[in-house]
């Protein structure tokens, strides 16, 4: 019977370095996944903003040379994302198809205008910028009017603002929770080492000598956990992108996510180091009787 007890005692579940890494990795993975989710939602909303078409109507009877001249001027504008020419013949055919009537026969002429359909870059699709852009384009010779839907743009911008606000608040709350959980995990791991810390202190080891190996262990735990969490997030993101072909990341997105990944690794390192430092100092100043 005593032999069985002797065998089972050492196998009791104790907080280990490996356990700490797994726990911290999962916590960081949760924080990073939520950040990636909000990034994806913002990207989709930004793509919607960049797909909203603005109609640039041209003067009636404008010459082909005038149409080309306007295209060149529009191409020179830094705020424009895409440009597509839509002739009045194409417009009337589409209009007649929808109404199922021959408008030219009824009116005796084509009442529509040649036009350019343009989309703007995400950062310019806000009301203040749109008003300035509308005035700037209307000053181009040969342009009759510039038309766009205020309601659609306001709706998308309002949703983006809501998503950003909710995302920032949620991530801050989650970071506080993550700190609490990681801190508890590291302190639990240090609790299992409390007698080793006190033994080193009793044989005359200096405070710096005692803390150093534990700080290095906390550093390694933070680095490994951060790298594993980022690898899991990027791996999951790659699989999602392969399944959803419509959701494609650009080079700028990869740079942005890489920076976010480095920040996530840094968060793991900082929290692990702080928790390790506080835990070791706590057991260095704890009385021997209290360690039990």
Task: Find out whether 159 and 45 touch, Cβ atoms under 8 Å.
Answer: yes
- Model confidence at 79: pLDDT above 80: yes
Q: In what order do the strands lie in the sheet with 115-120?
A: 80-86, 115-120, 54-58, 143-147
Task: Dump pLDDT digits (tens) for 156-197.
Answer: 878 878 888 887 888 788 888 877 877 777 777 777 677 777
247 vs 169, more confident = 169
- Model confidence at 292: pLDDT above 80: no
Query: Which of 25-39, 88-102, 271-285 tops mean pLDDT?
Result: 25-39
In angstroms, rounded to a whole number, what is the distance separating the alpha carbons of residues 125 and 120? 6
- Model confidence at 144: pLDDT above 80: yes
Minimum mean pLDDT range among 87-91, 236-240, 284-288: 284-288
- Average pLDDT (32-54) is 82
State the pLDDT at residue 4.
44
- Model confidence at 244: pLDDT above 70: no
> What are the CB-based long-range contacts (under 8 Å, 24+) for 165-172?
166/38, 167/35, 167/38, 167/41, 167/42, 170/34, 170/38, 171/31, 171/34, 171/35, 171/38
Helix H, strand E, coil C: the string for 153-212 is: HHHHHHHHHHHHHHHHHHHHHHHHHHHHHHHHHHHHHHHCCHHHHHHHHHCCCCHHHHHH
State the pLDDT at residue 72.
92
Task: Find out whether 200 and 286 touch, Cβ atoms under 8 Å.
Answer: no
- Average pLDDT (108-115) is 73
Task: Dump pLDDT digits (tens) for 4-15.
Answer: 434 444 444 444
Domains and CATH numbers, the chain: 2-47+155-291 (no CATH), 53-148 (3.30.70.3040)
Helix H, strand E, coil C: the string for 77-132 is: CCCEEEEEEECHHHHHHHHHHHHCCCHHHHHCCCCCCCEEEEEECHHHCCHHHHHH
What mean pLDDT, rounded, does the chain reach? 78
Task: Dump pLDDT digits (tens) for 120-132.
Answer: 888 888 877 888 8
């Amino acid at each position: 019977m005593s032999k069985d007890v002797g065998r089972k005692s050492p196998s009791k579940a104790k907080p280990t370095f490996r356990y700490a890494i797994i726990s911290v990795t999962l916590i960081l993975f949760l924080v990073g996944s939520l950040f990636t989710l909000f990034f994806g939602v913002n990207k989709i909303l930004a793509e919607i903003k960049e797909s909203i078409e603005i109609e640039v109507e041209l003067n009636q009877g404008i010459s082909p040379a005038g149409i080309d001249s306007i295209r060149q001027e529009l191409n020179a504008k830094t705020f424009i994302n895409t440009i597509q020419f839509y002739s009045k013949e194409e417009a009337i055919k589409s209009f007649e198809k929808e109404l199922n009537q021959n408008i030219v026969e009824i009116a005796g002429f084509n009442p529509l205008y040649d036009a350019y359909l343009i989309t703007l870059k995400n950062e310019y699709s806000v009301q203040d910028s749109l008003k300035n852009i509308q005035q700037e384009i209307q000053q181009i010779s040969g342009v009759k009017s510039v038309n766009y839907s205020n309601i659609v743009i306001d709706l998308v911008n309002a949703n983006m603002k809501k998503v950003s606000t909710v995302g920032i608040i949620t991530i801050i709350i989650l970071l506080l929770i993550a700190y609490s959980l990681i801190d508890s995990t590291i302190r639990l791991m240090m609790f299992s080492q409390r007698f080793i810390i006190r033994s080193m202190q009793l044989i005359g080891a200096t405070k710096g000598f005692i803390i150093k190996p534990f700080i290095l262990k906390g550093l390694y735990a933070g680095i490994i956990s951060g790298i594993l969490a980022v690898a899991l997030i990027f791996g999951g993101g790659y699989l999602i992108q392969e399944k959803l072909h419509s959701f494609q990341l650009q080079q700028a997105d990869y740079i942005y996510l890489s920076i976010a990944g480095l920040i996530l690794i840094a968060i793991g390192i900082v929290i692990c180091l702080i928790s390790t430092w506080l835990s070791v100092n706590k057991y260095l100043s704890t009385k021997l009787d209290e360690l039990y």
